[in-house]
Structure 1
Amino acid sequence: MFWSKKYKLKKEKKENEEKLRKLQGREVRYASKRDEITYVETVIGKNGVINIVDDIFSVICNDKIIFSSPISEVYGSDLMSLDGIILNYKDETTGKDVEIMVYYKYYRKV
């Protein structure tokens, strides 16, 4: 009875990691950070790429790392339009939950 909840959480975490790993090499149009009080988004980077090296998930824009965290500590959820992903993680210094929106570059498949 109690093990089923634990199993479900492990399965959810594994599926999330697989989803994030599929983003390796995906080009980024821009990334923004949402303020938790006013819900205003501010752009923190443009023209970049998503990179995963040694289980570290990073978003690099204009040759500058704007986000980096172990892949096990990041939760990603797709936007409804599938144009990007929302990355949720807990900031170690402040202890607050942080949301970063990453919007993909669109390439028409021919």
Structure 2
Amino acid sequence: MSRPIPTGGPGSDLLERGRFSDGRTRFNVRASSVDAPESFQVYVEGNRADIVLIVSGLGTEHLHATWGEGWRSCQKAWKTWAEKAAFQVFYNGHHRGGPDAPGVVRVCNG
């Protein structure tokens, strides 16, 4: 599984958090809003209609994952990996493998 490339920069879509790949397919992670998003979605790069995963409840900490049609039947191990990779991209802008990999922590005091 490859290391994702962070997105961003001048003129970029502020809702886009980054992307990752499983070695076959590249996925983009998109927040529901710029400030205090309640959810994020993962979709196949180049096709926003092909939604892989929506994670909601970010503001309430009652997280709920909804898998897109065609992705629900994926193996549990792959879905667990994809959820973790998506969370890392959502919070850090990139996915770094391994449990001890360094990351960036964002804190909201408001």
* TM-score (ref. length: structure 1): 0.26
Q: Which has the higher helix share?
A: 1
Q: Which one has the largest radius of gyration?
A: 1
Q: Which has the higher strand share?
A: 1
